[in-house]
Structure 1
Amino acid sequence: MSDTEPRRDWRDTLRDATDLALLGFLLVLAALPLLTLAPAAAVASAAVHDRITNGGWPALRTTAARFTRALPTGLTASAVALAVAVALGADLLALAAGRVPGGPPALAVTALVAAALTGYAGLVVVAVGRTGGRGWRDAARAAARTGLDRPGTWAAASAVCVLAGLLAALVTPVAVPILAGYALAALHAVARPLARVVTP
């Protein structure tokens, strides 16, 4: 920390926590029609990216413009994500109930695939947030490159998504939006490239 940077105290931490909780509520509210899930996540991710890189949240006008621009392609991304989630959820429920053959090994493999896909989706949301909430195809490619080049990042993103899902099932429904804001911030934290250590 340099001498020119103001020292952060507990009030700054509390302000950040409150801002993330509010962001989570806005994200869930914007995603309520379900097909607006991807545009809402993209815009919220862009807001977190702005907060991390610029030190401040974007203006309301900027956020509204980003949401409007994200709607056309985001609706398709939402439909694809929801279809994959429904298919995986149906597979997991059928395997857990014993309605399809495979038993515990098939259930474990399907759960691992689901966790890996949610981690990949989390990396896509972070990547699309870095471009202001646009460019889903480019974000999907960037997330795939990140996952292949840095598998630890992919595993960490998967862990964040799985933990958020488990906590969402355990907390009261009113706390789920707060969890959404924190999970998005955690995804940005684990997806940040690590500084390379240069040895002499």
Structure 2
Amino acid sequence: MSAEPARRDWRDTAREASDLALLGFAVALAALPLLTLAPAVATASAALHDRGVTGSWPPVRTTLARFGRALPAGLAASAVGLAVAGALGADLLALAGGRVPGGGPATVLTAGVAAALLGYAGLVAVAVGRTGGRGWRDAARAAAGTCARRPGTWAAATGVCCLAGLLAVLVTPVAVPILAGYALAALHAVAARHPVTRPEAP
């Protein structure tokens, strides 16, 4: 007769909630120079992947080593992501201020493109976490394949990212970093339900 699995109680839930909050603060701290945003997210995603596979967080030494290995390619990924975000943000501000033609329809279209790209970026973050925080090109290709084959997964990831962005505007600034850990965990949950194709490790 097999033993029944241990039942979870409120202490397990509180422990996981605090772990995700700490993860969010760690991501925010590591991403302070802005160009380290992608390496920070990749390292946190790898830690969440380990947590989901093994049931425990990776050792601190492993996490720091992953962050160091993720820096070279991650800096370039950060630069690309920030450039795209800046361009879309400038377009939205120009449309909202009436400085360029297009009005409401163009604003809605641009906002939709921005939201879709956020969802895609979330799936890339999950995919790169599955290879220890490395392999951005393979992760980008894998996430693109997932978006094409499973648009529902893409939509769910987009919803997670948009909700996190909305909450970031509504909550007090000190609580914003907490959202990073919870949003990344939600993206991993979405991908676990509809798996993102695992990229090959470089």
TM-score between the two structures when normalised by the length of structure 1: 0.95
Give unpaired runs (5+ residues) of structure 2.
Answer: 196-202
Q: How far, CA to CA, are the matches of 2:142 and 2:11 in structure 1?
A: 36
Which residue is equivalent to 1:84?
A: 84
1:115-155 CA-to-partner distances (Å, cap 9, x unmatched) read 00000000000000011100000000010011111100000
CA positional deviation for 1:53: 1.2
- Residue 13 of structure 1 aligns to a residue in which SS? helix
Q: How far, CA to CA, are the matches of 1:194 and 1:34 in structure 2?
A: 31
User: Structure 1 vs Structure 2: percent identity of aligned residues?
Assistant: 77
The question of 1:39 aligning with 2:39 is answered: yes
CA positional deviation for 1:4: 4.3
Q: How far, CA to CA, are the matches of 2:99 and 2:159 in structure 1?
A: 28
CA positional deviation for 1:193: 4.1
Q: How far, CA to CA, are the matches of 2:182 and 2:25 in structure 1?
A: 11
Which residue is equivalent to 1:198?
A: none
CA positional deviation for 1:5: 2.3
Which residue is equivalent to 1:96?
A: 96
TM-score between the two structures when normalised by the length of structure 2: 0.94
Across the two proteins, how many residue pairs are aligned to each other?
194
What are the equivalent positions in structure 2 for 1:9-24 lying under 5 Å apart? 9-24=9-24
Q: How far, CA to CA, are the matches of 1:192 and 1:143 in structure 2?
A: 13
- Residue 21 of structure 2 aligns to a residue in which SS? helix
Q: How far, CA to CA, are the matches of 1:138 and 1:4 in structure 2?
A: 40
Structure 1 letter corresponding to 2:90? A
CA positional deviation for 1:14: 0.5
Q: How far, CA to CA, are the matches of 1:40 and 1:72 in structure 2?
A: 12
Which residue is equivalent to 1:62?
A: 62
What are the equivalent positions in structure 2 for 1:136-155 lying under 5 Å apart? 136-155=136-155
What are the equivalent positions in structure 2 for 1:1-200 lying under 5 Å apart? 3-194=3-194
Structure 2 letter corresponding to 1:36? T
Structure 1 consecutive aligned stretches of length 4 or more whose deviation exceeds 6 Å = none
Q: How far, CA to CA, are the matches of 1:4 and 1:138 in structure 2?
A: 40
**2:66/2:132 contact within 8 Å kept:** yes
Q: How far, CA to CA, are the matches of 1:150 and 1:192 in structure 2?
A: 13
Q: How far, CA to CA, are the matches of 2:107 and 2:50 in structure 1?
A: 39
CA positional deviation for 1:3: 3.2
- Residue 134 of structure 2 aligns to a residue in which SS? coil
Structure 2 letter corresponding to 1:20? L
Structure 2 letter corresponding to 1:128? V
